[in-house]
């Protein structure tokens, strides 16, 4: 598989935003122009990267697949809508939702305090936490978070993971939609030292390239978080319908089935691993 592994733009703070749009009345629906357009065209326009394995990527047949992709396809089907996908980099997905080119983002997304002013999330489709990829031979000289100082951290510019690395004194090495092998090989050969990212994404990337001598640093985990479908705060009717549909999918086991297909784990429940540190991240 030649899937790319871009870095997820995840929320790294625990925010009480998921219930903000849990209930709406019929009058709000009539004034929700975004939902009126969706209902009229019977189309749900979805922004995604197509480079984030296994959430959103292209398989060997160049088909757009992934956990978030399959979940939103099923959501759209149950809502009697046709999903239309548009691919951007991470910043482009946010801009597309903000300017109305897309209705929502399906790309392992979360919110931070600054982004919460403009966007909201569906109920979570994934729970996870942060981890570090290091060299197998010497753990890249990292035993704890304080050891990040002076280390070369690989990632996509502006992500929360790179902001955390910078907070801890790491030297940032920025990539733009790089492939799995580039990220992992650069750590293995010493061009970089560490990758901070989502635990499950890291785990899947390493499993896909078992010959590259890197590993997840055990026991050094941070920032329990959740991700879902991101949309504008004004999309009150859309988020209500999506949340209702996701609840149905969780109840009938569909969400867990898709999760196991891509992650070999049930990521729809909070993890049991011990989270040793929580970082505050601001835009």
pLDDT tens-digit readout, 263-283: 989 999 999 899 999 998 876
CA-closest candidate to residue 262, choices 67, 71, 129, 127? 67
Of the ranges 11-15, 20-24, 115-119, which one carries the lowest mean pLDDT score?
A: 11-15
The two beta strands, 104-109 and 222-232, are antiparallel
Angle between helices 67-78 and 236-251 (to 10 degrees): 100
Pair type for strands 104-109 and 119-121? unpaired
**Could you tell me the residue ranges of all domains in the chain?**
26-126+226-263, 128-222
Q: What is the pLDDT of residues 69-97, one digit of tens each?
A: 999 999 999 999 999 999 999 899 999 99
- C-alpha–C-alpha distance, residues 257 and 275, integer Å: 26
CATH architecture of 128-222: 3-Layer(aba) Sandwich (3.40)
What gap in Å lies between CA 203 and CA 206, rounded to an integer? 5
Within a 13 Å sphere around the CA of 151, how many CA atoms are in the beta-carbon half? 29
The fold for domain 26-126+226-263 equals: D-Maltodextrin-Binding Protein; domain 2 (3.40.190)
Q: How far is CA 252 from CA 74, 75, 112, 247, in A?
A: 13, 13, 31, 9
CA dihedral 233, 235, 238, 239 (to 10 degrees): 10
Q: Give the pLDDT band (50/70/90) at residue 5.
A: very low
**Average pLDDT value for the chain:** 88
pLDDT at 12 over 50: no
26-126+226-263 against 128-222: fold identical: yes
């Amino acid at each position: 598989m030649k899937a790319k592994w871009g870095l997820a733009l995840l929320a790294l703070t625990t925010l009480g935003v998921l219930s903000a749009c849990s209930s709406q009345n019929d009058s709000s629906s009539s004034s929700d122009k975004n939902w009126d357009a969706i209902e009229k065209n019977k189309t749900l326009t979805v922004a995604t990267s197509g480079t984030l394995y296994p959430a959103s990527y292209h398989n060997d047949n160049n088909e757009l697949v992934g956990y978030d992709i399959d979940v939103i396809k099923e959501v759209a089907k149950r809502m009697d809508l046709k999903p239309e996908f548009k691919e951007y980099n991470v910043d482009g997905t946010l801009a597309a939702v903000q300017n109305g080119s897309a209705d929502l983002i399906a790309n392992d997304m979360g919110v931070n305090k600054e982004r919460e002013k403009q966007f909201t999330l569906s109920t979570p489709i994934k729970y996870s936490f942060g981890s570090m990829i290091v060299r197998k031979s010497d753990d890249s000289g990292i035993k704890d978070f304080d050891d990040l100082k002076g280390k070369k951290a690989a990632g996509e510019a502006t992500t929360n993971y790179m902001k955390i690395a910078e907070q801890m004194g790491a030297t940032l090495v920025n990539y733009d939609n790089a492939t799995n092998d580039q990220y992992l090989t650069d750590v293995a050969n010493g061009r970089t030292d560490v990758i901070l990212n989502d635990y499950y994404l890291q785990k899947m990337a390493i499993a896909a390239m078992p010959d590259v001598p890197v590993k997840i640093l055990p026991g050094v985990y941070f920032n329990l978080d959740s991700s879902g479908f991101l949309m504008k705060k004004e999309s009150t009717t859309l988020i209500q319908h999506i949340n209702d549909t996701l609840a149905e999918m969780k109840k009938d086991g569909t969400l867990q089935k898709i999760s196991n297909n891509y992650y070999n784990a049930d990521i729809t429940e909070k993890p049991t691993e011990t989270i040793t540190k929580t970082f505050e991240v601001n835009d």
